[in-house]
């Protein structure tokens, strides 16, 4: 409401200082009781307010909201995130993005939710996506590439998210081929790239991104507590999700332009700067069995090269890597 907007503006101008109830009621043109009711409403929405006799009210903490408005206000991109579908609660943002893409949604359309009841990982694994602490979003792209090149976009996404995390938090993440972003060896980001394609041409790529931002360790299900982490755990303080989303979209757009103009090579170089698996003995768990060997790096196409003990080079297109 208009009153709500004015009240938030007052608090924002006060920059954390107290404002007396008297002054608020004068400026808003309502009774002291009405002011108190507005304050209670703000508390219900997640604002933390302190009330002190004779001094008034002050805001201690604003809620970490990610509505479409919050994301678009201050967004630096031209195309990505210019159409946003925000939902409080969904099964999976991937599912919605697939439907929108099929119906012709333009490139850059973003689906974001506060909570996923059935968040998906690869190979029908589940992705834990609780309310209010993470970024759960799916981006629709329409790159003019053949389907077999689409996995390169997974690597591009990993670079974009890593750069954004570094920019916003100062933390430097590691990328484990192909789609894990780790902090101190624990997963804080998952990427799921899915396609709608003809035989020789992609119609759309749906890039699903899950970022654990403000979770505490105890908030993760027990079975992933030893392998999962959040940015707030690693940094030691909370991070504004809307700001991180904006930065991810900005880095993504820059890399995506480079990719469309110059191909995968410039992305490969940036990717290698974050990669941790390279040069190490790993096991690649593929759908056709396990391959053990030393990770030599990725090809100019983004395919992982493993050198087995007998010197054979294996080209891995898709797998889970164990370090
Ligand atoms: P993945 O198959 O590489 O990883 C899934 C595995 O990761 C799970 O089996 C579990 O062990 C672990 N895991 C599950 N949830 C978490 C979590 N929150 N943090 C760390 N580890 C976890 C990765 O798949 C791809 C995930 C993409 C998620 C996004 S969210 C927005 C979009 N919508 C959707 O349904 N999926 C994508």
What average pLDDT does the chain have? 94
Weakest mean pLDDT among 50-64, 101-115, 120-134, 163-177: 50-64
Q: In 3D, which of 111, 81, 73, 285 has the Cα closest to residue 208?
A: 111
User: Do residues 111 and 137 lie in contact, with contact meaning Cβ atoms separated by under 8 Å?
Assistant: yes
- Please work out whether the CB of residue 125 comes within 6 Å of at least one atom of ligand 1: yes
Confidence of residue 74 (pLDDT cuts 50, 70, 90): confident
Give the CATH number of domain 281-322; options: 1.10.1740.10, 2.30.30.100, 3.30.210.10, 3.30.70.1150.
2.30.30.100
Tell me the pLDDT tens digit for each residue of 257-307: 999 999 999 999 999 999 998 899 999 999 999 999 999 999 989 999 999
> Can you tell me whether residue 210 is helix, strand or coil?
strand
Whole-complex ipTM: 0.99
pLDDT above 70: percentage of residues in the chain: 100
For residues 84-106, give the mean pLDDT.
Answer: 97
Confidence of residue 69 (pLDDT cuts 50, 70, 90): confident
Annotate 163-180 with DSSP letters as a single string: HHHHHHH----EEETTTE
83 has a pLDDT exceeding 80: yes
| 8: enclosing H helix or E strand | helix 2-14
| Nearest-angstrom CA–CA distance, 202 and 233 | 38
- Measuring CA to CA, how many Å separate 321 from each of 141, 150, 175, 228? 27, 19, 11, 16
Domain ranges for the chain, please list them.
2-61, 68-274, 281-322
| Nearest-angstrom CA–CA distance, 182 and 193 | 18
- Please work out whether the CB of residue 92 comes within 6 Å of at least one atom of ligand 1: yes
Structure token pair of residue 91: 């099964």
Tell me the pLDDT tens digit for each residue of 158-188: 999 999 999 999 999 999 998 899 999 999 9
**Which pLDDT belongs to residue 232?**
95
For residues 309-322, give the mean pLDDT.
Answer: 94
What is the CA(225)–ligand 1 centre distance, in A? 13
**Which pLDDT belongs to residue 109?**
98
205: β partners:
141, 195
What is the CA(136)–ligand 1 centre distance, in A? 10
Q: Does domain 2-61 have CATH number 3.40.190.10?
A: no
What is the CA(140)–ligand 1 centre distance, in A? 19
Positive or negative CA dihedral for 220, 222, 228, 233? positive
Q: In 3D, which of 312, 322, 277 has the Cα closest to residue 295?
A: 277
- Please work out whether the CB of residue 127 comes within 6 Å of at least one atom of ligand 1: yes
- Please work out whether the CB of residue 314 comes within 6 Å of at least one atom of ligand 1: no
Q: Does domain 68-274 have CATH number 3.30.70.100?
A: no
**Which pLDDT belongs to residue 212?**
98
| Strand-by-strand arrangement of the 180-183 sheet | 84-90, 110-116, 134-141, 202-212, 186-197, 180-183, 174-176
- Measuring CA to CA, how many Å separate 15 from each of 2, 9, 47, 313? 20, 10, 14, 60
- Please work out whether the CB of residue 128 comes within 6 Å of at least one atom of ligand 1: yes
- Please work out whether the CB of residue 229 comes within 6 Å of at least one atom of ligand 1: no
- Please work out whether the CB of residue 136 comes within 6 Å of at least one atom of ligand 1: yes
44 has a pLDDT exceeding 90: no
46 has a pLDDT exceeding 80: no
For residues 121-147, give the mean pLDDT.
Answer: 96
Q: Which bin fits 289, alpha (ψ -120 to 50), beta or left (φ > 0)?
A: left
Q: In 3D, which of 285, 252, 71, 283 has the Cα closest to residue 159?
A: 252
**Which pLDDT belongs to residue 59?**
87
Q: Residue 319, Cβ neighbours under 10 Å: how many?
A: 20
User: For ligand 1, atom 14, which residue shows the shortest CA distance?
Assistant: 127
**b/e sequence 169-180, b meaning 16+ C-beta within 10 Å:** beeebebbbbbb
149 has a pLDDT exceeding 90: yes
Identical fold for domains 2-61 and 68-274, yes or no, is: no
Q: Which of 125, 127, 205, 287 to mutate to test the pocket of ligand 1 (most atoms within 8 A of CB)?
A: 127
Q: Which of 118, 121, 133, 287 to mutate to test the pocket of ligand 1 (most atoms within 8 A of CB)?
A: 121
What is the CA(6)–ligand 1 centre distance, in A? 40
| Nearest-angstrom CA–CA distance, 248 and 256 | 12
Confidence of residue 72 (pLDDT cuts 50, 70, 90): confident
């Amino acid at each position: 409401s208009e009153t709500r907007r004015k009240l938030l503006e007052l608090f924002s101008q006060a920059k954390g200082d107290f404002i007396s109830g008297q002054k608020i009621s004068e400026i808003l043109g309502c009774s002291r009781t009405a002011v108190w009711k507005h304050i209670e409403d703000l508390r219900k929405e997640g604002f933390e307010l302190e009330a002190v006799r004779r001094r008034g009210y002050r805001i201690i903490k604003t809620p970490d909201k990610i509505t479409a408005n919050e994301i678009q206000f201050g967004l630096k991109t031209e195309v990505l995130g210019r159409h946003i579908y925000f939902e409080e609660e969904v099964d999976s943002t991937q599912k919605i993005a697939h439907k929108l893409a099929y119906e012709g949604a333009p490139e850059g359309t973003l689906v974001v939710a506060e909570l996923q009841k059935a968040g998906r990982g690869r190979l029908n694994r589940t992705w834990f996506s609780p309310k209010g602490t993470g970024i759960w979003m799916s981006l629709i792209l329409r790159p003019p590439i053949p389907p077999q090149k689409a996995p390169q976009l997974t690597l591009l996404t990993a670079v974009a998210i890593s750069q954004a995390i570094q920019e916003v938090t100062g933390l430097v993440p590691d990328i484990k081929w192909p789609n894990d972003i780790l902090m101190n060896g624990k997963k804080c980001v998952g990427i799921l790239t899915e396609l709608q394609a003809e035989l020789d041409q992609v119609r759309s790529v749906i890039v699903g991104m899950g970022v654990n931002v403000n979770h505490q360790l105890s908030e993760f299900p027990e079975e992933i507590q030893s392998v999962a982490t959040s940015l707030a755990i690693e940094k030691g303080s909370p991070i504004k999700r809307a700001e991180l989303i904006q930065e991810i979209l900005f880095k993504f757009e820059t890399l995506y332009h480079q990719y469309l103009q110059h191909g995968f090579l410039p992305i490969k170089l940036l990717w290698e700067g974050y990669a941790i698996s390279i040069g190490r003995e790993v096991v690649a768990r593929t759908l056709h069995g396990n391959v053990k060997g030393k990770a030599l790096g990725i090809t100019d196409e983004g395919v992982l090269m493993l050198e087995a003990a007998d010197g054979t080079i294996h080209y891995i297109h898709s797998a889970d890597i164990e370090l």
